[in-house]
Amino acid sequence: MSNFFPMPRGDRWYLIVIIVFSFISFLPWSQGIHVAGMALFGWLMTALMVLSPTIALIRLIRHRVSRGSADFLVRDERVD
């Protein structure tokens, strides 16, 4: 049985990396290590909160540009 919505290969890798990164972040050893006064868990969660949406937006823009529908990148100066 095939997927109802096919998932692009890049999206699949993005999802796998996010899940693995989250799993590693919640391992017990990451909560006992402290770097610059903060637990490694906090640093990993911060990286996840910053990098995850950033990478998703980059992938979205690249996808739209490759399809030729990058209209949202051009500012419309027309006055109606």
* Structural domain harbouring 22: 9-64
Q: Is 58 domain-assigned?
A: yes
* Average pLDDT over all residues of the chain: 81
48, 21 Cβ separation under 8 angstroms: yes
Q: Measured at the alpha carbon of residue 52, what is the angle toward residues 47 and 58, in degrees to the nearest 5?
A: 125
Model's pTM, two decimal places? 0.63
User: What pLDDT sits at residue 77?
Assistant: 62
Indicate the number of domains in the chain. Answer: 1
Specify the DSSP element, H or E, that contains 35. strand 34-35
Q: Is 69 domain-assigned?
A: no
User: What pLDDT sits at residue 8?
Assistant: 81
Q: Is 2 domain-assigned?
A: no
**pLDDT mean over 10-35:** 87
Q: Is 3 domain-assigned?
A: no
Q: Is 15 domain-assigned?
A: yes
Q: Is 36 domain-assigned?
A: yes
Q: Is 73 domain-assigned?
A: no
pLDDT digits (tens, 9 = 90+) for 38-62: 888 889 899 999 999 999 899 888 8
